[in-house]
Amino acid sequence: MKRVESRSCSALGKELHHLRELSGLTLQDVARDAQVSASQICEFEKGVSGLRRDKVTRVEKILLRSIRERVRRSEKLLAAHAPLKINPISTHVEDDAVGGQQ
């Protein structure tokens, strides 16, 4: 298997770290689900060492799936708390309505 290394390793590692933060998953969560050691993922995120392409792909899929699920839950939560109907605001205001004097 080919390893992801060199300059792209550092950039991709930072990207995976960012995705992991967005996903809300810990290193241990990702490692367990991707069947990759947490230390390998950590070293890859820091740009210290490479990681086989198939492992990077598994980690990325897990992170993206988690992020999509978080977005879905957020959308449901927002929809549940959003007002059912918003009446348009009138631009015409009468003096009495705003406490004006007669």
* pLDDT tens series, the chain, 102 aa: 566 555 577 889 999 999 999 999 999 999 999 999 999 999 999 999 989 999 999 999 999 999 999 999 988 888 887 665 555 555 544 444 444 444
Beta-carbon-side half-sphere exposure of residue 69 (alpha carbons within 13 Å): 9
> Does residue 11 fall inside a structural domain?
yes
Residue 91 to residue 100: CA distance in whole angstroms: 16
Task: Assign residue 12 the CATH number of its domain.
Answer: 1.10.260.40
Residue 76 to residue 27: CA distance in whole angstroms: 27
Predicted structure pTM score: 0.70
> Number of folded domains in the chain?
1
Q: How many residues does the chain have?
A: 102
> Does residue 96 fall inside a structural domain?
no
Residue 84 to residue 20: CA distance in whole angstroms: 34
